[in-house]
Structure 1
Amino acid sequence: MKQISAVMIAALIAITSVSALAHSGGTDSKGCHRNHKTGDYHCH
């Protein structure tokens, strides 16, 4: 039963970590860029 729980927890972590991927886009020399749709300027 503990092995099944560990596998389920590992699968849940693997699935939810996908949402942490950064979006693509060119950055300037400071590592920042402007979102042309919203006008927001942010850094990574």
Structure 2
Amino acid sequence: MRLPRLAALLALLTLPACAPLVIGGAGAIVADEVIEQEQGGDGLF
């Protein structure tokens, strides 16, 4: 029954590494929405 512990440890180690990517992606989506509202158009930037 070591597999669940190993999986939990692996998840705890990999999630913080992915956080900057998730935050950066969310920031890009918000920036795209702001640009669309100000300048019109559709699509990413």
User: One fold, TM greater than 0.5?
Assistant: no
What range is the shorter-chain TM-score in? 0.3 to 0.5
Query: Normalising by structure 2, what TM-score?
Result: 0.42
Q: Name the structure where strand makes up a greater proportion of residues.
A: 1
More RCO (CA 8 Å, sep 6+): 2
Query: Normalising by structure 1, what TM-score?
Result: 0.42
Q: Name the structure where helix makes up a greater proportion of residues.
A: 2
